[in-house]
Structure 1
Amino acid sequence: MAGIDLLTGKVHALVKDRHRSREFIELLRLIDAAYPPNTAIKLILDNHSAHISRETRAWLANRPSGRFELTFTRKHGSWLNLIEGFFSKFARSVLRHIRVASKHELKERIMAGIDDVNPHPVIHTWSYKLAEVA
């Protein structure tokens, strides 16, 4: 699981065996701790059940008002979420053709790849204009 800060390009990542509500909340805690308390954090998410679960909503309800703002992509609209493109490029460049002996080694390689990406972040700009298709 990961998120990209659109202003800085930094990737916040967490590697877990599963992607349930508790793991997603762990990522939210990681992101929450990375920013000053009065900063609004806007997330673009797909409709994965962990993102909309009762447990996740309860955790978000206990955060200060306005801390997290969630926007959900439409079904089959993952291309709207920059992290999906990042995952694709990351898999092709960092994870392609590697052999690992364990899940632990895979996790270490993924986090090492993230650590290599973050010192030289890519700041993405959205250039698609709806007026061009209308």
Structure 2
Amino acid sequence: MAEVLEIIKISLAVVAGIGGVIALVIAYRRQRIAEASDAREQTRLHAERLDKAADRLGSESPTVRLAAAHAVAAIGDEWIEGRKLCGEILYAFLRSRQETDPFVQETIRMIFTRHLREWGMISEPNFEQETRKAAAEKSSKLLGTV
């Protein structure tokens, strides 16, 4: 009789141990699924914010364009996976648009170069000069002075 009770105790302990392991595996998987879902949601929110900021870069108002450039840079600061895209958007904006307000042009260029350096996307010391030179050449061509 004592042997039967001992076997029952051992069996219950093994079943409890297996149940505990199963509970841990299920909890781990739920946590992973929740984290993946949260990451997808964060990516979606960053993408939506970036889309709105990029749209505002095309605004007629220089103030709105300046705020949009700051917004794109801030999104890049927060969203590591999207930094390259944010940098490409700012670069495309600088290359494609001639600002009528030199202050806005210079400020957006400074935002662009500062953030690209912080993000480790550029390291050349003459990058700012090259960007300034390219912008000057573009403005000269648009104004017909070249």
Same fold flag (TM > 0.5): no
TM-score of the superposed pair, with normalisation by structure 1: 0.27
Query: Which structure features the higher share of helix residues?
Result: 2
Query: Which structure features the higher share of strand residues?
Result: 1
Q: Which has the higher contact order (CA 8 A, sep 6+)?
A: 1
TM-score of the superposed pair, with normalisation by structure 2: 0.26
